[in-house]
Amino acid sequence: MKKFPGFNKCMTMMKNRDPQIQEEGFHLLESHASDYVHELIEEFNNETDHGLRCWLLELIGSAKSPVAFDFLAIQLRSEDEHFRYWAHRGLEILDTKEARTLRWEAQATTGLSLEETEENIEE
């Protein structure tokens, strides 16, 4: 496995035009996401590329950090279906009582399960 090049280098890789380099940057950062939750949230808030924002949200959720709870809760109410999906997944990974309650409330409000939301996104 490749040595972790640091947060900034991974972000540069994820913004590269080469899809292979983008993927590599994502996967290198994925196992270190919990160390960079604040930075990932900041990147998400400053980023304009939708696909990259989805990746950042996926990383934030995979961090399994209570620090991300409030951010994920906000994204769970987003108008963007993709953001809601990744927020839901992140809360599922976090797996705290509060996260489970929030997911249940969101599902009760929308009537869509995570699987149904995923199917809508793939269509």
Q: Is the pLDDT of residue 122 over 90?
A: no
Task: Please report where in the chains the tokens 């993709």 appear, as a residue.
Answer: 82
For the stretch 57-106, pLDDT in tens is 999 999 999 999 999 999 999 999 999 999 999 999 999 999 999 998 88
Domain ranges for the chain, please list them: 7-122
Dihedral Cα 22, 31, 85, 82, nearest 10 deg = -20
- Return the pLDDT at 9: 98
For the stretch 15-51, pLDDT in tens is 999 999 999 999 999 999 999 999 999 999 999 999 9
Q: Is the pLDDT of residue 53 over 70?
A: yes
For 7-36, letters b (16+ CB in 10 Å) and e give beebbebbeeeeeeebebbbebbeeebeeb
By C-alpha distance, which of 8, 2, 63 is closest to 30? 63
pLDDT bin (cut points 50, 70, 90) of residue 120 is low
From CA 67, how far away is CA 24, in angstroms rounded?
Answer: 25
